[in-house]
A and B are shown apart, each in its own frame.
Chain A
Amino acid sequence: MDELLKLLSEICPKVDFVKEKKLIDDGILDSFDIISIVNELNEHYDIEIDVDDLEPENFNSVEAMLELIHTLQNE
């Protein structure tokens, strides 16, 4: 979790990833942020986030992103 938080904070330094739980629903992350996050996660965790995975429930919180990473790693 800490590793992911550090990574996300580097991509979007102005966003409080610990506190915010509706990053997409509340419009905190825009489409550019999402693409940047997807590219970083793919590279860092050696996974392949597909366009099918770009759902608000997968990116609304750091926990949701972590779960997505684990799901894709276990596939």
Chain B
Amino acid sequence: MNIVSLFYLAFVAVVALAYFITPRRFRWVTLLIASIANYLSYDLKLAVWMLVTSISIYTGGLLIERQEQKYAAQLKAQPDLDRADKRALKKQNERVKRRYAALVAAINIAIWVVFKFADLFITTLNKYLSTGLSLWHLVLPLGISFYTLQAVSYVVDLSRGKCEVQRNYFKLLLWLCFFPQMLQGPICRYRETAPQLYEPHDFDYRRVKFGMQRMLWGYFKKLVIADRVVTISERVFGHSGEYQGLVFVIGALAYTIQIYADFSGGMDIIGGAAEILGVYMPVNFDHPYFSRSISEYWRRWHITLGAWFREYVFYPLSISRGAQKLTAACRKRLGPNMAKMLPTYLAMVLVWILNGIWHGAGWQFVAFGMYQGILIVLGMQFEPVFEWIIAKLKIRTDCFSWRLWQMLRTLALIMGGRIIFKASGLYEALRIGWSILKIHNIWIFTDGTLFKLGLNAWEMFVLFVAVLVLLTVSLLQERGVHIREAIERQNLVFRWALYIGAIATVILLGVYGPSYDAAGFVYAGF
């Protein structure tokens, strides 16, 4: 069910109504029925993979719980164990629980890998070994890249003792396929979201109003900005052979705006729908384009994905025995400081390669991930050098201009990453990058080229004003202003003028074109 449709709005309204009139005990069942109906509305056959995942984590959870009970019984039966024996027993318990978690995680990741990479693997085999195998053309089960990560987080958290087991299969299924966030996240941790799903929420006018406002803001971002600016990015990157130099900067800027308005707009629609039902989704965006470094940017962009990689890949790798051995082995050759940092840097680059692969099957996504990882590592490694230069040149760093410079520099680096991401291939991305560096066709800003990229002067004006509105709201939020609460404090006439104006803007200025389907959301394609 497309979340940018009148049908979806009606669906949310009907589910909310049904939810609030259902007896409190069974309200979670209403959410489950709605979520299953929503999933099946996309594809009946592919729903089987969601079933496999849910059953696997349910079984894994029960096995981990059984092991925990066994361990407790062993401790109780042997009260006289000395400290060393107790420690050994604890270690063994942890080992068994982690094995169960690893098995379930491996099953689910294997399913995801097959669906996502089978054709890439076959293409590579055919290319280098001339195997002549035919492609599988598998259709990715909807939301698999998101719910697989959630599924893994559940069993791993259980094995680490960070959440309680869910003994009711249907409740666990609800957490995995909760309808607003199933398609494009956010990636929810069980202990944070699940209790909110099971707890009955009563109708609360203020909360429902806030939820609807957030949805409206999401539709504004998606329909007025993302689906308008997409014309420019598609034009530039889809016909990159026709352009050169600064036109690619315009294209990259357009794509940078598009992907933010698209993804964060989707999060607002999803978060708003969930809020109406009394469920608060984790924050996925914290005004990332105001970041002053790449590492800060990634703490503010797609926060739940970053947190997942940090918790389940980066931390375990960085403090593993292997990392300690590597440090010890490199100490003599690299010195104590570099030897300590090397495993962390390697883990970081690996995490970024995986992050890149998560976004798509292809070498350019590996390059996209490596680009981010290398920038972060270089930024850290050369920080003392930068500080030395700043001190030598006596540059003031406690002023607005310095912060602005840092933001613009970070934005330029992000746009570099967007070019790798959006170009038709890695070679093309390099060619575009080279063209930007080599050709300085500044006259494109005056010779009318900008209006030949798919949007006429009026459309450009609408886009400019809409982006200005987005920037103003973001700046206010960045300064700690709570927009919805601020609106609430205004007079009735002003409030309703604002609501009607916003709805009219979305209806009249929203772009309802070819991207008027679920696949129109960039991240729904992952």
Q: Tell me the A residues contacting B by CB distance below 8 Å.
A: 27, 30-32, 34-36, 38-39, 42, 49-52, 54-55, 75
Q: Is B238 an interface residue (CB 8 A)?
A: no
| A51-B160, A52-B162 known; A36 vs B340 contact (CB < 8 Å) | yes
Q: Is B404 an interface residue (CB 8 A)?
A: no
Least Cβ–Cβ distance between B327 and chain A, in angstroms:
7
Residues of A within 8 A of B160 (CB): 51-52
Q: When the two chains form the complex, which single residue of A30, A32, A49, A55 contacts B319, counting CB atoms closer than 8 Å?
A: A49
Which residue of B has the minimal Cβ distance to A40? B340
CA distance A54 to B90 in the complex (A): 18
Interface with A: B308-316, B405-413, B424-432, which one? B308-316
Q: Is B299 an interface residue (CB 8 A)?
A: yes
CA distance A38 to B160 in the complex (A): 18
Residues of B within 8 A of A38 (CB): 319
Q: Is the CB of B315 within 8 A of A39?
A: no
| 10 nearest CB pairs, A to B | A52-B160, A35-B318, A51-B316, A35-B344, A51-B315, A54-B315, A31-B310, A38-B319, A39-B340, A75-B87
Q: Is the CB of A30 within 8 A of B318?
A: no
Q: When the two chains form the complex, which single residue of B315, B316, B324, B340 contacts A31, counting CB atoms closer than 8 Å?
A: B315
Residues of A within 8 A of B348 (CB): 32
Q: Is the CB of B299 within 8 A of A32?
A: no
Q: Is the CB of B295 within 8 A of A30?
A: yes
Q: Is the CB of A51 within 8 A of B310?
A: no
Which residue of A has the minimal Cβ distance to B380? A32
Q: When the two chains form the complex, which single residue of B87, B161, B315 contacts A35, counting CB atoms closer than 8 Å?
A: B315
In this complex, how many residues of chain B approach chain A with their Cβ under 8 Å: the count is 23
Which residue of B has the minimal Cβ distance to A55? B162
Kindly supply a per-residue 1/0 record for chain B positions 80-103, scoring 1 wherever the CB is within 8 Å of any chain A CB and 0 otherwise. Answer: 000100010010001000000000
Sample (15) of A-B pairs whose CB atoms are under 8 Å apart: A30-B299, A31-B314, A31-B315, A32-B344, A32-B380, A34-B315, A35-B319, A36-B344, A39-B324, A39-B327, A42-B319, A42-B324, A52-B160, A54-B315, A75-B90
Residues of A within 8 A of B318 (CB): 35
CA distance A56 to B310 in the complex (A): 13
Residues of B within 8 A of A39 (CB): 319, 324, 327, 340
Residues of A within 8 A of B314 (CB): 31
Least Cβ–Cβ distance between B324 and chain A, in angstroms:
8
Q: Is the CB of B319 within 8 A of A27?
A: no
Supply 13 further A-B pairs (C-beta < 8 A) apart from A51-B315, A52-B161, A75-B90.
Answer: A27-B299, A30-B295, A32-B380, A35-B344, A36-B340, A39-B327, A42-B319, A50-B319, A51-B160, A51-B319, A54-B315, A54-B319, A75-B87
Q: When the two chains form the complex, which single residue of A30, A36, A49, A75 contacts B83, counting CB atoms closer than 8 Å?
A: A75
Residues of B within 8 A of A49 (CB): 319
CA distance A35 to B318 in the complex (A): 7
CA distance A54 to B162 in the complex (A): 11
Residues of A within 8 A of B310 (CB): 31
B318-334 interface with A by 8 A CB criterion = 318-319, 324, 327
Most buried by B among A32, A38, A50: A32
CA distance A18 to B327 in the complex (A): 30
B275-323 interface with A by 8 A CB criterion = 295, 299, 310-311, 314-316, 318-319
